[in-house]
Amino acid sequence: MSTFTSEWQDWKTQREEDLAAPHGWLALVSLDWLTDAPREYPGIPGRWWQDEDAAYVDPAGASLAHDGSPITEVRRFELVNSGAGTRVLAGDVEIEVARRSGYLIRVHDPKAEVLRAFHGVPAYEPSPSWVVPGRFEPFDSPRPTTVGAVVEGLSHVYTAPGLVHFSFEGQSHTLTAFNGKNGGLSILFTDGTSGVTTYAANRSLPVGAPGPDGSVTLDFNRAVNLPCAFTDFATCPLPPAGNHLPFAVEAGEKIPHERG
């Protein structure tokens, strides 16, 4: 096995271990949108509601905890739209609170059927031919960019710091990039395989931090599915306008077994 293939296999193994985390995306078993009226939701302890700014929970006698301490009175959660959520513990499950225009709660249960049945993610065999050099062109200032979502009527707003340019088989292509991890970028895209061998809505390509000259490396072997490819309880974004590649990216993750 080549070093390239071995490193990709190590990455894939770690990726699948992360997906199989007991309170990860595959553990989702419900999604409920909060309203302005306090109410209980089936199978979820406490009473929940929202206003224009925040979500709230009244434990109503239930044993709940947040940030390591018990919730003994009404707790307020003001979150960033389309940003990270927070978790409330209830026994062996975690209730995620997130803001996606309005507020939602969804339960991560380590006993979820999808999680128990998970046996990896199908993927194309890795190939160095899908490691492509590119160039990052920053905007004068980052641009808030609105995109659609897999949930009808929902939208997300992300910060786009710039564009990534690259060439493939003699043709030039440009993709809008969002902020990624550790100073890197994240590119949501579709291509000629979308809805055929790969998940129809999109895939996500992590890109390392650009070099001083703007150079980046696009390793399509590491294009991954978003959570919505595995569960109906995700609210994943769609790619920004123009992020469709007019060729088949036969690299990275394929349609999950769960959607086969």
The mean pLDDT of the chain is 94
Q: Which residues of 109-134 are buried (b: 16+ CB within 10 A; e: fewer)?
A: beebebbeebeebebbebeeebeeeb
pLDDT in tens, 146-193: 999 888 888 888 999 999 999 999 999 999 999 998 899 999 999 999
The confidence band for 55, taking pLDDT boundaries of 50, 70 and 90, is very high
pLDDT at 35 over 70: yes
pLDDT in tens, 204-223: 999 999 999 999 999 999 99
Q: Using the structure block, give the residue that is written with the tokens 């089936």.
A: 42
CA distances to 56, 188, 194, 225 from 201, rounded to whole Å, are 32, 10, 7, 9
With pLDDT > 70 as the criterion, what percentage of the chain qualifies?
99
Please choose, from the candidates 121, 129, 122, the residue with its C-alpha nearest in 3D space to the C-alpha of residue 248: 129
With pLDDT > 90 as the criterion, what percentage of the chain qualifies?
85
pLDDT in tens, 109-127: 999 998 998 989 999 999 9
Element (H, E) at 19: helix 3-19
pLDDT at 260 over 70: no
Domain boundaries of the chain, sorted by first residue? 30-108, 120-259
> What is the SS3 assignment for 228?
helix
- The pLDDT assigned to 145 comes to 93
